[in-house]
Structures are given as structure tokens and as C-alpha cells.
A and B are shown apart, each in its own frame.
Chain A
């Protein structure tokens, strides 16, 4: 039997793989079919009926679900099909809260675009407008059911990809709503704040909790010394908000724009990523040498941490006690840097630009205040930074490149690759040989932990010890890996876990690309390219070569894993109930 079937779409013969859908076959033929609820690999349920086509059946069929067959004849464009799509879209619009001018997704809204594409000039039906309360009690995510079109993409990503299942479609018929059980606020559910629901949402029903006003206020306050740090993944995606091609690194322009926004100092979280490697690497070496709890699991991703606290509370001792890099950096800023620069930490305001919505939750954890003040005061997502740049009227694309400020701005390529899945592991494996033997490995890159397989494993022999390592990204993969570790089916020394599929480059705080882009382009791979490029071009590619980090230890911290490090840079975790007691 052939692996392909031949069908006809709009009179054009197409060869499509057996098992593919009419929508996929149309793509091969270069024929565009509009979609709305469809998100490749995540939500393929034929719910919105926007992609209907005529396959000769008694009614129009959803092409995202309809399987190809030998000799099938498909029509994608006829008066009946156009009318069907229009009626469906007008019905969706009839009850949609049409506050488009002040919607966070205006111009980047798939519903808005579809209304233009289908030439909707008048909505023939007047639906009852919903009036649900907005859930803005989570520090990370705001849900506005009045804008929800019930496409279920958020549900699919939360349930099937992340296996968190904090939201579902509740009730039925006209009362159907995406909500948490018992309509509890998200903050009372096992929601880990990863924000993958936000990047999956085609409209403005999900967004991050905005911190831009607080940051504007801080910048305007003359009494405050306002310091900003930027995560590695931000520079790999920020350009997209200004129309630059996906995967364009914009480090220099980003720094320049932050200075123009009025931040007093612009530092690189990558510096703290290097610091993390030394602390975490030392922790690993110590656990291996002293028969400590293994595997050691990374703690950079606050979404993953909360997931572990909810679903694997028996394994919290496996988590590295290291704070995530931006928290370490915040603690160093309000201690070391404050002392050096002669600034009262009470008058310092630290902002982190992150590809992440879970970081907004993380900064509020009571443990994250090493010197009596929050390590980090506010977190802005990549999207929020873009909003501020636009609001300030900065011509981002034509900015001159500028460099991070000293004395905290130096970073290595190892710190940069934290932004991609496998990056923390690779950075650690570059430095662990040094920590064990005092020598650097001959090969810098660790290719076995790169790429997009859900779970990657590697075995590296260092000083006679075979170190077994695993990397998982996306919480569904993390769950699989953790279950194997819990049951003893697999044993590892070191595990890297990132909550978001693809790692931080495709984090929940990153620029939102519509399904039409995500269905065709591998965002993770494209953005990761920018990161690996910056690594290759770096002067230093080992965390332990970072001159700033060396200085931290010489002048202030003493040694990795030492007393002062523990006070400033390490933390602890708590087991969490999934829902409050009745």
C-alpha cells in the first residue's frame, strides 16, 4: 500500500500522506483554508467550524478533522461555504465583548483578523453580551471570560501539554464557560502560572497581570535607583514585537531601549545564570561525593517548581536549593551592588524582564527576600517591555546597539543558552568537569542535550564518574520523567526541567505569534538559533570563566555553596495542596 493518497482540492490534484487531514493536504497544495480553534499538535477538535469545506457529504465538514482519502473531491470555496463561515463567525462575534480598541490583543487578534479576512461588514445577529467577573487575583494571569470564544486552545495546552488541568469547559449550551472547578480564582488552583494558555489564546481572554504602570511609576520616582535585568530568551524574541523576523537577536537594541526608558542601570541576568551554574554545579558535585539526594533537579523555572510542589511534593528534596538566576541577581544587587555603589537597598527598585509569567508569582514568594527587601520588585514579560517601548515612542528597529552596564553586566555564552531547553544542563556540563578536576572539557558544546525532543538524556564521563543527565521541557514531559524517577525505573544524577515546551524562548511571557505562524514555523528552533549564535560569538563560554562572577566570590561570597551564598542565593520549597479545603 502506498503511503500517499491522491485527492482533488478545488480541481487541483494533491498527493497527501495517509492519515493527514484535508486541511493539511490543502496546505501542501498551497490552498488557504481559514481556521480559528485549530492549533497544530495542540488543539485539533473541529470546534469552531471556520475551516468547513465541501467533501461531497450531506453537510460541510471541518477540514482540520476530516481525513484524506483516495479520490476525495474537496471544494474549499463556494457561496455555501463562504456563507456558512460568515454565519458562524457572526454568531461568535454576536456575543463577543467588542472592546477592541482597548484590548491587549488588538492588531494581534486572530478573531479580528478573521473578521477582516471574511469581509464581515455587518453583524446580522445581536447576541446577549456576557457579563462574567474578570479573574485578576493571580499574580501572573488575568482571565476575562467575556472575550473568550470557547476555542478550547487554553484548555488543551493546560490539560494535554502541561498536564496541569487547572481550567476546563464548564456548563453547557449558551452558559458554557472556560473556568476553574467551582469557578475558583486561578490562584486557588494548581495553575503553575506558566502562561502557555496566554500564548495559545487567539483573542484577549487571557493576558498577563500587567506591571507596566508600577514600573513607570518607579522610573519617575527620583528617590529610587531603578535597576533592570534581562533574561537570555528576551533578546531572542523581542524583535518580533517590532516586525523583525523570528529569531533575530536584538541584544544591543534591547539594552539601548531600556536606557532610553529611563532605567538607571541595565544588567544581564545571564551573569547570574553563570553564578547559578557555579552554585548548582557545586551542589551537584557535593551531592555526588557525599551520597546526597540524587537526582539533583534544576530550579530555574518557577512554573516547574510550583508544579513539583503540587504534584511531586515527595520529591522536593531533589530540587536544587538554588534560587532562579534573576532572584540570585536581585539578591546580589540589593547586597553586593548596593554596598559597592553606596546605595540604600530600601531605595533600590529591581525590575526583571522575563519571557515568563510564572516569575511574577515567584517574586512574591516570601522566601525571595534575602536582605529584608524583595530580591526583585517587579517582573515584566517580553510583551510588556515591548508595550513600554511603544508607549515611549522609541523607534526600536533603528536604535544603535548599546552594551550592558558594569560592574554587573558581564556574561558568558553558557549563561545565554539558559534560554533554550537543555541550556542549563549544557552550561552545567561545561563547568562540572572544572569543579571536579580543575580542568575544562575539550569540547565546549554538548549537542546531546540540544534540540526539541521532549525528554533528552546524556551520559558524560567526568573524572571517572559516569554522570547520567536528563532534560525535559513542557510539564507533560516533566511528569513522565518524574514518574520514572519516582518509581526507580530510571536513575539520573542531574535533571533539567523547564515548564514551557521549548524552554524559555517559547515561554508564556514571549511575543504571541498567531496560529497561522505557529502552525508552520517552529518558534522554539528559530528563537533558539539566536541564542546559540550569541553563545558562539561570546568571548567566554564557560560560566566559571565569567570575570564578574569570579569577582563576586573573591570580594563578597567566598566560595560557591558557602555560608554567604546560602543566605543570599539559596531557598526552600513547600508542598502545596491542589485546591483549598472545601
Chain B
């Protein structure tokens, strides 16, 4: 995950990525992925830099960013919660899970908590249908959930944060 914080080093990293892919066909999506790793999301300035660097139009870049749900125009939390809305998870009640998360975190789908700790998104099938309903928090997978499991899961991350301080 991206750890650098200063603007210059982020831009430098982005330019390196663009340079790496510059002459590759179909470079846009991998560049967007790596750019999102650095920035956590894809603000206009980043998209403009990618458009100029890859010699494609900003309209093209923005079209791709808004087509794929993995790409985000909004900043993400330190812990990115993705609630799977694939068919299996959906019928197993992932809608309730999403609502519960929304209640507990006091944010809507697509938003980020004020302290920047959690962001909440509904996503497409993550391929763990056997564990439905499933959520992911960063790279960790939680399966066979009920809405009642949610408060404890969130609590565990909050505690982890408190310890780190």
C-alpha cells in the first residue's frame, strides 16, 4: 500500500508509473490501479496528469474511472470496507449487512468517516460465494456474516487503532 504522504513524492511516483507504461497498449487501467494505490483515490489532478502522460483525453480517463466500481473519485478510509453485492451474497442478506455498517459507522454507501478511518462501499462479486454474505476490510475477508456480527468487527479495528496510538 502507498505509504508516502508528501505531494512531491506522490507525483514523482505517479510519473514513474506513467513512464513505465507509456508505450504499452491498454496501459490506462493498470496505471489507474497503481495511481489509486498511491493516492487512495483518483482526484481530477491525478486523472489529468495520467491523461497528459499517456496522451489520451481526460474524457477517456474519466469514462474508464466511472465505469469500474474499483476506481474511486472520493478519498477512502484507512480501512476500506467492501460489501459484496454479488447475487449469492445479496440473496443471503448483504443488503442488511450494508445497512448495519451504515448505521454503526454513521456514513452512507460510498462515503468515508470523518476521522478518515473507515470508508464503506458496495462492490460486485468478489468470488467468495461459498462464504456468502461476505465483506472485505482492506485485504481481510469476513464471511457467513449476520448483521449482529458487525459491531464487534468494527470495534476490533477501533481497538487496534487505539493500541497503535
Contact A171 B66 (CB under 8 A): yes
Contact with A along B67-106 (1 / 0, CB 8 A): 1000000000000000000000000000000000000000
Whole-angstrom distance between the alpha carbons of A172 and B57 in the complex?
19
Contact B58 A579 (CB under 8 A): yes
User: B52 — nearest CB in chain A belongs to which residue?
Assistant: A578
Which of B19-27, B43-51, B107-115, B136-144 lies at the binding interface?
A: B43-51
Contact A167 B67 (CB under 8 A): no
Whole-angstrom distance between the alpha carbons of A182 and B44 in the complex?
8
Set B43, B62, B66: member contacting A172, Cβ < 8 A? B66
Whole-angstrom distance between the alpha carbons of A578 and B49 in the complex?
12
Quote the shortest CB–CB distance from A143 to chain B (angstroms). Answer: 13
Known: A172-B67, A182-B62. A165 touches B48 (CB 8 A): no
Quote the shortest CB–CB distance from B4 to chain A (angstroms). Answer: 20
Interface membership of A2, Cβ < 8 A: no
Quote the shortest CB–CB distance from A55 to chain B (angstroms). Answer: 30
Interface membership of A169, Cβ < 8 A: yes
Set A159, A169, A170, A171: member contacting B57, Cβ < 8 A? A159
Set A171, A181, A582: member contacting B67, Cβ < 8 A? A171
- Interface SS of chain A: helix, strand, loop or mixed? loop
User: B48 — nearest CB in chain A belongs to which residue?
Assistant: A579
Chain B's interface size range is: 10 to 19
Known: A579-B48, A582-B44, A582-B45. A180 touches B59 (CB 8 A): yes
Contact A168 B44 (CB under 8 A): no
Residues of A near B45 (CB, < 8 A) are: 582
Interface membership of B63, Cβ < 8 A: yes
Interface membership of B16, Cβ < 8 A: no
**Within A135-167, which residues are at the interface with B (CB < 8 Å)?**
159, 165-167
Residues of B near A189 (CB, < 8 A) are: 59
Interface membership of B37, Cβ < 8 A: no
Interface membership of B60, Cβ < 8 A: yes
User: A183 — nearest CB in chain B belongs to which residue?
Assistant: B62
**Within A172-211, which residues are at the interface with B (CB < 8 Å)?**
172, 180-182, 189
Contact B59 A166 (CB under 8 A): yes
Which interface residue of B47, B57, B60 has the most chain A CB atoms within 10 A? B57
Quote the shortest CB–CB distance from A225 to chain B (angstroms). Answer: 44
Contact B63 A169 (CB under 8 A): yes
Contact A578 B66 (CB under 8 A): no
Residues of A near B59 (CB, < 8 A) are: 159, 165-168, 180-181, 189
Whole-angstrom distance between the alpha carbons of A180 and B59 in the complex?
6
Contact A168 B48 (CB under 8 A): no
Interface membership of B126, Cβ < 8 A: no
Quote the shortest CB–CB distance from A132 to chain B (angstroms). Answer: 14
Whole-angstrom distance between the alpha carbons of A167 and B67 in the complex?
14
User: A164 — nearest CB in chain B belongs to which residue?
Assistant: B57
Quote the shortest CB–CB distance from B108 to chain A (angstroms). Answer: 17
Whole-angstrom distance between the alpha carbons of A279 and B7 in the complex?
51
Whole-angstrom distance between the alpha carbons of A424 and B12 in the complex?
48
Quote the shortest CB–CB distance from B144 to chain A (angstroms). Answer: 29
**Within B111-133, which residues are at the interface with A (CB < 8 Å)?**
none
Contact A170 B63 (CB under 8 A): yes
Residues of B near A181 (CB, < 8 A) are: 44, 47, 58-59, 61-63
**Within B2-23, which residues are at the interface with A (CB < 8 Å)?**
none
Residues of A near B58 (CB, < 8 A) are: 165, 181, 578-579
Residues of A near B48 (CB, < 8 A) are: 579, 582
Quote the shortest CB–CB distance from A312 to chain B (angstroms). Answer: 15
Residues of A near B47 (CB, < 8 A) are: 181
Whole-angstrom distance between the alpha carbons of A166 and B62 in the complex?
11
Residues of A near B43 (CB, < 8 A) are: 582
Which interface residue of B43, B47, B59, B62 has the most chain A CB atoms within 10 A? B59
Residues of B near A582 (CB, < 8 A) are: 43-45, 48
Whole-angstrom distance between the alpha carbons of A553 and B61 in the complex?
52
Residues of B near A169 (CB, < 8 A) are: 63
User: B59 — nearest CB in chain A belongs to which residue?
Assistant: A168
Whole-angstrom distance between the alpha carbons of A168 and B60 in the complex?
7
User: A167 — nearest CB in chain B belongs to which residue?
Assistant: B59
Which interface residue of A159, A182, A578, A582 has the most chain B CB atoms within 10 A? A182
Residues of B near A165 (CB, < 8 A) are: 57-60
User: A169 — nearest CB in chain B belongs to which residue?
Assistant: B63
User: B73 — nearest CB in chain A belongs to which residue?
Assistant: A182
Residues of B near A180 (CB, < 8 A) are: 59
Contact with B along A251-281 (1 / 0, CB 8 A): 0000000000000000000000000000000
Residues of A near B61 (CB, < 8 A) are: 181
Whole-angstrom distance between the alpha carbons of A168 and B67 in the complex?
11
20 inter-chain pairs at a CB distance below 8 angstroms, sorted by A residue, are A159-B59, A165-B58, A165-B59, A165-B60, A168-B59, A168-B62, A170-B63, A170-B66, A172-B66, A181-B47, A181-B58, A181-B59, A181-B61, A181-B62, A181-B63, A182-B44, A182-B62, A579-B58, A582-B43, A582-B48
Further contacts, 15 of them, CB under 8 A, given A159-B57, A166-B59, A582-B44:
A165-B58, A165-B60, A167-B59, A168-B60, A168-B63, A169-B63, A170-B62, A170-B63, A171-B66, A171-B67, A172-B66, A181-B58, A181-B59, A182-B44, A579-B44
Interface residues of B (CB under 8 A from A): 43-45, 47-48, 57-63, 66-67
Q: Nearest 7 A-B pairs (CB), nearest first?
A: A165-B57, A181-B62, A168-B59, A168-B63, A181-B58, A171-B66, A170-B66
